[in-house]
């Protein structure tokens, strides 16, 4: 499918020809019926333990958990929170949530108590499912929020919450009567929210992106278009966290495609490489730091990675050099980049066999419209003219939960304004060149400088602060703070770094360091001039 130019410089990716998912009664029913149809096929493999899970196992466990959630009082359109590393129980919990017609709100497992409190006050989950690495933190925060009625410990336990249930005990408990099948409630697909994923807003704390059942079902239909290798015949490896929009949506996609999904809870060099070798992995979801590892790390040569056919890279730009090094070193024939946002339900742009120029993020997916506008005047721009990228289609979010103002800023007349600067060429391939948004991209995670700045200003010794991304080959960017000390105080770089470490999740730590300055450059309205700070970083003055 090739893109076409519509009147007014609107680019269109062409119609979605498949409608299987959208015509279903609900997302939950679609997932259940898909798993049922795959029978004894292996659909998930835990690469740490080597345990393999069949589709029929997934189906029966999802059905059982769906009945249990109903017994615990979870109804259609209630919210359940989910805080876990990648595990079969994460998948079961999410799909059982969909089955009962609930909204699932995944929580970043690295969130501090402050961040968990903010996130659950956006989504107001009735029940939260948590694993041993997060359950105690979740329990402490939940005990202060009356809307949380119960916690299910997928593993581990905590004494900090009264209504805490053990997942394994419940799944094996005879008192929970269940049937072998489950009928998901009929959804109002355009209105019912399936997922609330936390997006790093540029203006401080994360915002809750509401993705409807139709957003997800339409996106699944757009994925069902013919590909070079049918996904049902693919063994695919992922280490992308499933609480992250990219990870979560690729988990859902692979589930309904019948893909053999090999997963890791976190990146470990030997495990990652041995999983590719052992399971003859053909495809892998990647982020640029993993690509740099494949390109440069000496350990890579010790493993047989010849089964790899396709690497799908997202979350941040990938350099041409890294791509070429991997192709030469491992012989992976296809490296594909894409571009998407939490707000657009996975990718809106993706490279394919025909359209994969170096540095591009591909062409529009089917069902998606795009336009490039002048960020100052709103004027529609043509080919090879740089401006803000805007997208329209069935995957565009319903809005930010409880934040009408931010929603109206992001979505105007149905168009999602991305805050990213880019252009399309004469072949309708898109290129991202800059961003209006100030987000720091650390290892594929979006880190909002405003949030770290607000945190730094709570320190009595700090008068003013500004945070930018320091370029880093492996991580993409490292958060770096410019700090103005209060008069007459002693404050060291280590103290500032420790202060942030104690109050924020790992991605937000000041790995780029701290630079003490006399003042933060700002425009007349008080906006930080980050461009000036970046220039200071390139040409440091002696007093810095």
Domain membership flag for residue 303: no
Nearest Cα to Cα of residue 360 among 268, 429, 262, 294: 429
Same domain, 3 and 87: no
Per-residue H/E/C for 215-256: HHHHHHHHHCCCCCCCHHHCEEEECCCCCCHHHHHHHHHHHH
Instruction: Specify whether 479 is located in the same domain as 399.
Output: no
| 358 exposure class (CB count in 10 Å sphere: 0-12, 13-18, 19+) | exposed
> Distance between CA atoms of 58 and 80, rounded to whole angstroms?
19
Q: Do 89 and 4 reside in the same domain of the chain? A: no
In the chain, the N- to C-terminal Cα span, in Å, equals: 53
Range of the domain at 365: 1-17+355-436
Query: Do 440 and 446 touch, CB atoms closer than 8 A?
Result: yes
pLDDT at residue 501, rounded to an integer: 94
Rounded to whole angstroms, how far apart are CA atoms 405 and 207? 12
Q: Residue-wise pLDDT tens for the chain (544 aa)?
A: 689 999 999 999 999 888 899 999 999 999 999 999 999 999 999 999 999 999 999 999 999 999 999 999 999 999 999 999 999 999 999 999 999 999 999 999 999 999 999 999 999 999 999 999 999 999 999 999 999 999 999 999 999 999 999 999 999 988 788 889 999 999 999 999 999 999 865 556 789 999 999 999 999 998 765 555 677 889 999 999 999 988 999 999 999 999 999 999 999 999 999 999 999 999 999 988 889 899 989 999 999 999 999 999 887 778 788 888 999 999 999 999 999 999 999 899 999 888 888 889 999 999 999 999 998 889 999 999 999 999 999 999 999 999 999 999 999 999 999 999 899 999 999 998 877 777 888 988 878 888 898 899 889 899 899 999 999 988 999 999 999 999 999 999 999 999 999 999 999 999 999 999 999 998 765 678 888 898 888 875 544 4
Shared-domain flag, residues 387 and 524: no
Question: What is the per-residue pLDDT for 202?
Answer: 52
What CATH number does the domain containing 455 carry?
Answer: 3.30.300.30
Q: Is 397 exposed, middle or buried (0-12, 13-18, 19+ CB in 10 A)?
A: buried
Flag whether 285 is in a domain.
no
CB burial of residue 516 (10 Å; 0-12, 13-18, 19+): middle
In terms of domains, do 431 and 460 share one? Answer: no
pLDDT at 201: 55
Query: In this structure, is residue 262 part of a structural domain?
Result: no
CA 319 to CA 331: how far, in whole Å? Answer: 17
Same domain, 8 and 136: no
Look up the pTM and report it.
0.87
**For 85, left (φ over 0), alpha (ψ -120 to 50), or beta?**
beta
Same domain, 71 and 175: yes
We report the CATH number of the domain holding residue 137 as: 3.40.50.980
351 near 337, Cβ under 8 Å? yes
Q: Do residues 65 and 200 both lie within one domain?
A: yes
pLDDT of 524 reads: 63
Q: 144 in a domain, yes or no?
A: yes
Query: Which of 164, 194, 214 is the last residue in one of the domains?
Result: 214
pLDDT of residue 543: 41
Residue that is last in its domain, among 180, 214, 248: 214
Query: How far is residue 262 from each of residues 192, 265, 274, 315, 495, measured CA to CA in Å?
Result: 31, 10, 12, 20, 41
Which helix (H) or strand (E) element contains residue 535? helix 530-538
CATH of the domain at 387: 2.30.38.10
CA angle at 44 for the pair 181 and 67, rounded to the nearest 5°: 25
Residue 143 lies in a domain: yes
* Number of domains observed in the structure of the chain: 3
Residue 410 in domain: yes
Domain end point (choices 214, 240, 263): 214
Which stretches within 439-520 are classed as H helix? 449-456, 493-503
Pairing type for strands 411-412 and 415-424 reads antiparallel
Distance CA 27, CA 440 (A): 33
Do 115 and 155 lie in one domain? The reply is yes
CA distances from 321 to 154, 290, 417, 434 (A): 42, 14, 30, 19
Same domain membership, residue 451 and residue 413? no
User: Contact at 8 Å (CB) between 16 and 218?
Assistant: yes
184 and 83 in a single domain? The answer is: yes
Q: Does any domain span residue 466?
A: yes
Asked whether residue 43 is domain-assigned, the answer is: no
The phi and psi torsions of 29 (rounded to 5 degrees) equal -65, -35
DSSP output for 350-389 = E--SS---TT--BEEPTT-EEEEE-TTT--B--TT--EEE
Same domain, 8 and 153: no
């Amino acid at each position: 499918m090739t893109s076409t130019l519509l009147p007014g410089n609107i680019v269109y990716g062409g119609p979605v020809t498949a409608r299987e998912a959208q015509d279903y009664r609900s997302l939950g029913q679609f997932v259940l019926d898909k798993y049922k149809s795959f029978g004894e096929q292996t659909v998930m493999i835990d690469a740490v333990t080597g345990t393999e899970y069949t589709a029929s196992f997934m189906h029966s466990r999802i059905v059982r958990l769906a009945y249990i959630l109903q017994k615990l009082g979870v109804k259609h359109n209630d919210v359940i929170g989910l805080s876990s590393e990648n595990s079969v129980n994460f998948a079961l919990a999410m799909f059982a949530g969909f089955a009962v017609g609930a909204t699932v709100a995944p929580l970043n497992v690295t969130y501090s108590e402050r961040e968990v409190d903010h996130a659950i006050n956006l989504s107001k989950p009735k029940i939260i499912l948590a694993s041993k690495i997060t359950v105690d933190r979740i329990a402490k925060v939940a005990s202060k929020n009356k809307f949380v009625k119960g916690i299910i410990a997928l593993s581990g336990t905590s004494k900090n919450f009264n209504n805490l249930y053990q997942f394994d005990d419940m799944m094996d408990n005879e008192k929970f009567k269940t049937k072998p099948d489950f009928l998901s409630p009929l959804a109002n697909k355009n209105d019912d929210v399936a997922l609330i994923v936390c997006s790093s807003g540029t203006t401080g704390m994360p915002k809750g992106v509401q993705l409807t059942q139709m957003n997800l079902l339409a996106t699944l239909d757009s994925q069902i278009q013919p590909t070079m290798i049918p996904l049902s015949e693919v063994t695919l490896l992922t280490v992308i966290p499933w609480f992250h929009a990219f990870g979560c949506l690729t988990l859902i996609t692979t589930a309904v495609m019948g893909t053999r999904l090999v997963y890791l809870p976190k990146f470990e060099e030997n495990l990652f490489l041995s999983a590719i070798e052992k399971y003859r992995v053909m495809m892998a979801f990647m982020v640029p730091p993993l690509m740099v590892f494949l390109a440069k790390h000496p350990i890579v040569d010790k493993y047989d990675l010849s089964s790899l056919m396709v690497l799908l890279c997202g979350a941040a730009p990938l350099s041409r050099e890294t791509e070429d090094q991997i192709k030469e070193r491992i012989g992976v024939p296809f490296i594909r980049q894409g571009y998407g946002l939490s707000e657009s339900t996975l990718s809106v742009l993706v490279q394919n066999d025909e359209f994969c120029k170096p540095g591009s993020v591909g062409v529009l997916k089917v069902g998606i419209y795009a336009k490039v506008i002048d960020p100052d005047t709103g004027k529609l721009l043509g080919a090879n003219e740089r401006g803000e990228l805007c997208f329209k289609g069935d995957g565009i979010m319903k809005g930010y939960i409880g934040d009408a103002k931010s929603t109206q800023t992001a979505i105007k007349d149905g168009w999602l304004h991305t805050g990213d600067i880019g252009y399309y060429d004469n072949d309708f391939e898109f290129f991202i060149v800059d961003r209006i948004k100030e987000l720091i991209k650390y290892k594929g995670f979006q880190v909002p400088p405003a949030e770290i700045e607000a945190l730094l200003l709570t320190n009595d010794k700090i008068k003013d602060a500004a945070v930018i991304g320091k370029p880093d080959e492996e991580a993409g960017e490292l958060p770096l703070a410019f700090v103005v000390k209060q008069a007459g105080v002693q404050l060291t770089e280590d103290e500032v770094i420790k202060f942030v470490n104690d109050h924020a999740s790992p991605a937000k730590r000041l790995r780029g360091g701290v630079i003490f300055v006399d003042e933060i450059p700002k425009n007349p309205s008080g906006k930080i001039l980050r461009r000036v700070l970046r220039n200071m970083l390139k040409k440091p003055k002696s007093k810095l």
